């Protein structure tokens, strides 16, 4: 047994390294960040020269990983669930080209939205792309799956999606490791034309992908990760997926009288599923995330034998736990302490002395003279500006949306329109929106809060470091309306004047509020 | 053997260090461990909870079910109260009494403390005061770890070895002050 306690993220990373990984590609995002961070701090990855730098965004990371796969080496690309929306173009089409070297796409979902704006379930993406999906139920499975995923990816010339969820990503356990494999040598695809998705070639590829579906289903039925546990009480059978199977095991203290089908690999294992459906009167589907399996089993008419999140047996949204499963199975529940009315919410907040505080204080003073609701926010620590005492931003939707939404609002005549975006978010997805605003000289003011880092996820590299004003100028922002200030309390009055001038200017301006993140200074 | 601990506090109070020390100590004793952490937004001065599960048999769930924890250890009294729903009726509650007042209307502290004392097996101690008196005001988490040690089925020398390991990079002086804080916490619950 390993002496190390590894997070689910880290177990997967170690599994990939031991399976001969040559490159990891990622943009930070909770709860996926620690996969890349583990590889970055791994001495063996350094000794082997495994690629382990952050990418500008998830789409770029996806394409870089596909390029490494094209060259015959094993590549992994990691992101949080909403990152897969950004990477979706490359992801869906990588399923059509297929892989050469093993290609593993990792999406970490965040049910209950601990650090996210939705709880989308990445299993739908794998189904949409017509590729196999793995959903580990433990750190050990996450470790083991990396090697299997690479080998299946090479054998069937397909990328695989591995779906993590918050509680596995961010929970440690002791794991057993296997002997490390060598990295693969450069090996060009035997038929490189399958990577050229001209319609004539894409049609052939897509036909092949459709034909592989039966193979993938058979792989699922034989998978060591999909297990059937017989039971005597067939009044109910239980399907549990990923970490939800742990809650089922615990709800019955390991002695479940009902047949159980534990699923950690998709497409659904048809033979095992048929057996359960034939043996049992009704089926409880327990899955962490959206009702992915349950929807398929219920069908359009809502088969009343199928119970789960849609039938109301389990909550429609949010994370599961053992107690919820006990309740769904009609098991006795241990008594609960009622929540005390003395307990108040303690939301996260900006650190004392954070540069964003000074930026928001200056911005709020300028906007006192205007109607409320004119500031479009983005994703990062500065999103906390939406909370008291600042109440400074009116939106936070997706990476880079601040600039494009401010422009759209200005297009509609809502003025002034201000965008607030961080340096890393700007280079992730803000630059293209800025180009639109430059093209039309939109009367918006973009505040780039540049703290030299990707702060919210723990201070990862910000790829635009030292280049932000040149990027803006290069995209066509006028030099005289590119302003820079230092967000310090003692410079408040001067900073207010800069913002006043640029918000009053009836064209495009960019104000860079630049001061290093206190957390990254502290770590030096 | 099975022991489930909910660790509660405010971002930055060091509950993950407590979890790491106990986890490492348990692994060195051949126990299985699962330790669930919440990263991300909640680190910025918000409520933070970690679930730590130790067992001689394999542990399934990464989360402790409400009403079933053997211990709640809180670095902050209102966070103790928030996590009380996890504690089993026979479980042990250990809480620091010094509040972190970073919200507008903190509830009246005496009421919070008496709600905690209402639990049958509760041990409240002023970890901040104890750490300050030792001249190590930042070692409050080690004081609380010491207080827990009285109830854990882990030998004290294994815990202190894990403390040495965690702080090894920071030098002997830091190790010594953390060990002193641990001992003071251990003495406080006797």
Indicate yes or no: CB of B46 within 8 angstroms of CB of A347.
yes
Q: What is the pLDDT of residues A418-452, one digit of tens each?
A: 999 999 999 999 999 999 999 999 999 999 999 99
Q: How far is A164 from chain B (nearest CA, A)?
A: 13
Indicate yes or no: CB of A174 within 8 angstroms of CB of B106.
no
Asked whether residue A233 is assigned to any structural domain, the reply reads yes
Say yes or no: A507 and A458 in one domain: yes
pLDDT at B39: 59
Q: How far is B84 from chain A (nearest CA, A)?
A: 7
Indicate yes or no: CB of B42 within 8 angstroms of CB of A247.
no
Say yes or no: A274 and A213 in one domain: no
Say yes or no: A426 and A505 in one domain: yes
Which residue stretches of A98-198 are H helix?
A: 123-129, 139-156, 166-169
Q: How far is B86 from chain A (nearest CA, A)?
A: 8
Indicate yes or no: CB of B102 within 8 angstroms of CB of A173.
no
Domain ranges, ordered by start, for chain B = 2-188
pLDDT at B45: 79
Residues from chain A that touch B115, judged by Cβ atoms under 8 A, are: 340, 342
pLDDT at A64: 98
Q: How far is A253 from chain B (nearest CA, A)?
A: 10
Number of domains chain A contains: 3
**How far, in Å, are A506, B1, B32, B53 from residue B57 at the CA level?**
68, 7, 7, 11
Contact A61, A25 (CB under 8 A): yes
Indicate yes or no: CB of A30 within 8 angstroms of CB of B111.
no
Nearest to B38 among A7, A170, A247 (CB): A170
Say yes or no: A265 and A252 in one domain: yes
Kindly report the CATH class assigned to B2-188: alpha beta
Say yes or no: A12 and A161 in one domain: yes
Asked whether residue A416 is assigned to any structural domain, the reply reads yes
pLDDT at A2: 43
A454 contacts chain B (CB < 8 A): no
Asked whether residue A341 is assigned to any structural domain, the reply reads no
What is the distance between the alpha carbons of residues B21 and B38, in angstroms, rounded to a whole number?
17
CA-nearest residue of chain B to A326? B65
Contact B74, B115 (CB under 8 A): no
Indicate yes or no: CB of B42 within 8 angstroms of CB of A167.
no
pLDDT at A338: 85
pLDDT at A523: 87
Q: What is the pLDDT of residues B109-153, one digit of tens each?
A: 999 999 999 999 999 999 999 999 999 999 999 999 999 999 998
Please name the residues between 338 and 377 in chain A that touch chain B, using a CB distance below 8 Å.
339-340, 342-351
Domain range spanning residue A396?
A: 355-523
Indicate yes or no: CB of B40 within 8 angstroms of CB of A247.
no
Nearest to A334 among B42, B68, B78 (CB): B68
What is the distance between the alpha carbons of residues A472 and A322, in angstroms, rounded to a whole number?
51
Say yes or no: A218 and A290 in one domain: no
Give the CA count within 13 Å in the CB-facing half-sphere of A382.
36
Bridging pattern class, strands A74-80 and A103-109: parallel
Indicate yes or no: CB of A342 within 8 angstroms of CB of B81.
yes
Say yes or no: A315 and A196 in one domain: no
DSSP A384: G
Say yes or no: A202 and A312 in one domain: no
Indicate yes or no: CB of A347 within 8 angstroms of CB of B59.
no
What is the distance between the alpha carbons of residues A508 and B32, in angstroms, rounded to a whole number?
59
Q: How far is B64 from chain A (nearest CA, A)?
A: 8
Say yes or no: A448 and A517 in one domain: yes
Say yes or no: A46 and A144 in one domain: yes
Indicate yes or no: CB of A171 within 8 angstroms of CB of B37.
yes
Q: What is the pLDDT of residues A118-172, one digit of tens each?
A: 999 999 999 999 999 999 999 999 999 999 999 999 999 999 999 999 999 999 9
List of residues 6+ apart from A490 with CB closer than 8 A: none
Asked whether residue A509 is assigned to any structural domain, the reply reads yes
> What does each of the 190 residues of chain B score in pLDDT, given as a tens digit?
999 999 999 988 999 999 999 999 999 999 999 999 875 555 677 889 999 999 999 999 999 999 999 999 999 999 999 999 999 999 999 999 999 998 888 999 999 999 999 999 999 999 999 999 999 999 999 999 999 999 998 999 999 999 999 999 999 999 999 999 999 999 998 7
- DSSP calls for A242-269: TTHHHHHHHHTTT---S-EEEE-EES--
CATH number of the domain encompassing residue A311: 3.40.50.920
CATH number of the domain encompassing residue A92: 3.40.50.970
**How far, in Å, are A517, B21, B28, B149, B175 from residue B161 at the CA level?**
35, 9, 10, 13, 10
Asked whether residue A344 is assigned to any structural domain, the reply reads no
A323 contacts chain B (CB < 8 A): yes
Q: How many CB atoms lie within 10 A of CB A111?
A: 22
Nearest to A167 among B36, B41, B87 (CB): B36
Length of chain A: 524
Asked whether residue A86 is assigned to any structural domain, the reply reads yes
Indicate yes or no: CB of A173 within 8 angstroms of CB of B63.
no
Asked whether residue A419 is assigned to any structural domain, the reply reads yes
Total-model pTM: 0.96
Give the CA count within 13 Å in the CB-facing half-sphere of A441.
5
A173 contacts chain B (CB < 8 A): yes
What number is the ipTM of this complex?
Answer: 0.91
For the stretch A56-82, what's the b/e string if a residue is b when 16 or more beta carbons lie within 10 angstroms of its beta carbon? Answer: bbbbbbbbbbbebbbbbbbbbbbbbbb
Asked whether residue A340 is assigned to any structural domain, the reply reads no
Picking from A170, A204, A222, the residue at the C-terminal end of a domain is A222
Provide the CA A463 distance to its chain's centre, in angstroms.
19
Q: How far is A248 from chain B (nearest CA, A)?
A: 9
A249 contacts chain B (CB < 8 A): yes
Say yes or no: A307 and A418 in one domain: no
Residues from chain A that touch B116, judged by Cβ atoms under 8 A, are: none
Contact A449, A402 (CB under 8 A): no
Show the low-confidence residues of chain A (pLDDT under 70). 1-3
Picking from A310, A328, A346, the residue at the C-terminal end of a domain is A328
Indicate yes or no: CB of A168 within 8 angstroms of CB of B78.
no
Bridging pattern class, strands A227-229 and A160-165: unpaired
């Amino acid at each position: 047994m390993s002496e190390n306690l590894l997070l689910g993220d880290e177990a997967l990373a170690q599994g990939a390294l031991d399976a001969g990984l040559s490159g990891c590609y990622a943009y930070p995002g909770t709860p996926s960040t620690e996969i890349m961070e583990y590889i970055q701090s791994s001495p063996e990855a350094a000794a082997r020269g495994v690629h382990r730098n952050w990418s500008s965004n998830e789409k770029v990371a996806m394409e870089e990983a596909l390029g490494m796969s094209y060259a015959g080496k094993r590549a992994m690309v990691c992101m949080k669930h909403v990152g897969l929306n950004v990477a979706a173009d490359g992801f869906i089409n990588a399923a059509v080209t297929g892989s050469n070297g093993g290609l593993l796409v990792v999406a970490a979902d965040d049910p209950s939205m601990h650090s996210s704006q939705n709880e989308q379930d990445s299993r739908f993406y794998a189904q949409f792309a017509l590729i196999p999906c793995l959903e580990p139920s433990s750190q050990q499975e996450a470790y083991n799956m990396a090697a299997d995923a690479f080998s299946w990816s090479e054998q069937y010339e397909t990328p695989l999606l591995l779906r993590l969820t918050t509680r596995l990503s961010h929970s440690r356990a002791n794991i057993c490791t296997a002997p490390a494999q060598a990295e693969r040598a450069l090996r060009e695809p035997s038929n490189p034309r399958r990577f050229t998705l001209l319609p004539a070639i894409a049609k052939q590829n897509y036909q092949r992908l459709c034909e592989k579906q039966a193979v993938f289903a058979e792989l699922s039925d034989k998978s060591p990760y999909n297990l059937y546990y017989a039971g005597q009480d067939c009044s109910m059978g239980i399907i549990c997926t990923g970490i939800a199977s742990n809650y089922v095991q615990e709800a019955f203290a390991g002695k479940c009288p009902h047949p159980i089908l534990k699923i950690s690999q998709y497409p659904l294992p048809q033979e095992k599923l048929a057996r359960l459906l034939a043996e049992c009167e009704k089926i409880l589907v327990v899955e962490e995330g959206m009702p992915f399996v349950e929807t398929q089993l219920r069908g359009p008419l809502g088969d009343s034998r199928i119970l789960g999140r849609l039938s109301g047996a389990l909550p429609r949204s949010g994370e599961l736990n053992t107690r919820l499963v006990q309740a769904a199975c009609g098991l006795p529940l241990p008594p609960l302490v009622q929540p005390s009315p003395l307990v108040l919410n303690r939301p996260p907040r900006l650190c004392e002395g954070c540069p964003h505080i000074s930026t928001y204080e200056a911005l709020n003073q300028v906007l006192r003279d205007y109607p409320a609701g004119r500031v479009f926010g983005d994703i990062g620590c500065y999103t906390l500006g939406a909370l008291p005492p600042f109440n400074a931003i009116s939106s936070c939707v997706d990476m880079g949306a601040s600039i494009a939404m401010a422009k759209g609002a200005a297009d509609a005549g809502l003025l002034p329109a201000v965008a607030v975006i961080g340096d890393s978010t700007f280079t992730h997805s803000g630059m293209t929106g800025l180009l639109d605003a430059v093209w039309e000289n939109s009367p918006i003011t973009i505040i780039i809060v540049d703290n030299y880092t990707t702060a919210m996820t723990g201070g990862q590299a910000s790829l635009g470091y030292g280049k932000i004003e040149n990027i803006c100028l290069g995209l066509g922002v006028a030099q005289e309306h590119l302003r820079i200030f230092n967000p310090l309390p003692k410079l408040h009055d001067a900073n207010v004047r800069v913002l006043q001038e640029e918000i009053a200017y009836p064209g495009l301006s960019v104000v860079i509020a630049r001061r290093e993140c206190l957390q990254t200074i502290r770590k030096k | 053997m099975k022991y489930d601990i909910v660790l509660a506090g405010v971002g930055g109070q060091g509950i993950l260090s407590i979890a790491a020390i106990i986890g490492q100590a348990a692994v060195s004793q051949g126990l299985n461990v699962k330790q669930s952490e919440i990263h991300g937004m909640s680190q910025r001065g918000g409520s933070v909870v970690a679930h730590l599960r130790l067992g001689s048999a394999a542990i399934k769930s990464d989360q402790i079910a409400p009403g079933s924890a053997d211990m709640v250890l809180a670095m902050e009294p209102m966070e103790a109260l928030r996590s009380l729903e996890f504690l089993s009726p026979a479980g042990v509650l250990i809480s620091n009494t010094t509040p972190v007042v970073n919200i507008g209307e903190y509830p009246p502290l005496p009421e919070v403390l008496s709600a905690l004392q209402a639990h049958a097996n509760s041990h409240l101690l002023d970890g901040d005061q104890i750490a300050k008196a030792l001249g190590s005001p930042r070692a409050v988490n080690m004081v609380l770890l010491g207080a827990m040690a009285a109830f854990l089925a882990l030998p004290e020398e294994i815990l202190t070895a894990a403390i040495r390991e965690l702080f090894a990079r920071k030098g002997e002086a830091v190790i010594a002050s953390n060990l002193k804080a641990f001992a003071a916490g251990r003495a406080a619950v006797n």
